[in-house]
Amino acid sequence: MADFFNEGWSWYVALLSVASVLACAVLLWLAGKARVSAKARADNTTGHVWDEDLREYNNPLPRWWMWLFIITVIFGLIYLALYPGLGAYEGMHKWSQQGQHQADARQMREALAPMYAQFTAKPVADLAKDAQALAIGQRHFMNYCSQCHGSDARGGKGYPNLTQGAAGWLGPLSGEHIVQTITQGRQGVMPAMGAAIGSEAAISDLAHYVMSLSGSPHNEIKAFGGKKYFAACAACHGNDGKGNKALGASNLTDNDWLHGWGEEAIVNIIKNGKTNVMPAQAAWLSPEQIHVLAAYVLSLSAGGSDLTVQPAPTR
């Protein structure tokens, strides 16, 4: 089991489990044979009296009760032999929670396959106008995407807004690109440029020049001085600062600040760089589900506001 730091913990759990079961068996056996009190009494009672005349007999456990406990102990030993419970031992049936989950997921996908079959032959762009497909895609979005991008898909600091149209996307706004991103994930890296730019004053001037590209409030004198340092950034963001979708380099002229606005935020990114990761979803969603989810995401920036999403059909 991955939870154990070393093999010793596995043996510790296994031995403790077996010892506990056997100790219960021995205790039950002794309790079934021995009397409660070692002191003999003529009336075969323990001497305890309740409500004036209720006395407790000094007898061992009933045989049927003792054997019921013994059967329970035997069942426990058989269970530990068949299923995982003894440290790293997998059990004779090789059962695991992960395997059971995968089997359940496979069964669910097989049951839903006929419903998705009607969508797989259609391009993502066409499904972006299909109300039934959008209803299903919306539910996948709520389950797998809304934690980062928000239930309204408008994102937040560090998480892209998926509703702002092609101009605001770091990559091409196409069904193929969205499918690829959902399936394989995406990693965006802004390298640390502090050493390349030089002094703190130069980095501050460059930050003001970057703010000037979008018409944001800035110090014109510092921006003028920082323009010459932008050559270090132009390789990715372009000489005009409009970015490069092929590289995923953001547009610095659109006043859409993914990682925070202002001199302090921009200086921090210039000095330290930034790495953003969109995790791959192929392990959780089938290709058919990703196809429908991509259609919903595409609809958010390609006329999605004009589409009426109907509830998904129940099965």
Domain locations along the chain: 7-82, 122-185+279-306, 189-277
Question: What's residue 10's pLDDT?
Answer: 82
What pLDDT was estimated at residue 98? 86
Q: Do 189-277 and 122-185+279-306 fall under one CATH topology?
A: yes
Look up the pTM and report it: 0.65
Q: How confident is the chain (315 residues) per 10-residue block, as mean pLDDT?
A: 65 87 82 58 76 79 81 89 86 87 86 87 91 94 94 89 82 90 91 90 93 92 93 90 85 86 90 90 91 94 48 38
Residue 289 is predicted with a pLDDT of: 92
Q: Tell me which architecture the domain covering 122-185+279-306 has in CATH.
A: Orthogonal Bundle (1.10)
**For position 249, what pLDDT does the model report?**
86
Question: How many whole angstroms separate alpha carbon 94 and alpha carbon 101?
Answer: 14
Q: Looking at residue 311, what is its pLDDT?
A: 41
Nearest alpha carbon to residue 137 among 310, 314, 301: 310
Residues in the chain: 315
**CATH fold label, 189-277:** Cytochrome Bc1 Complex; Chain D, domain 2 (1.10.760)
pLDDT tens string 212-243: 999 999 999 999 999 999 998 998 999 999 98
Contact criterion met (CB below 8 Å) for 183 and 192: no
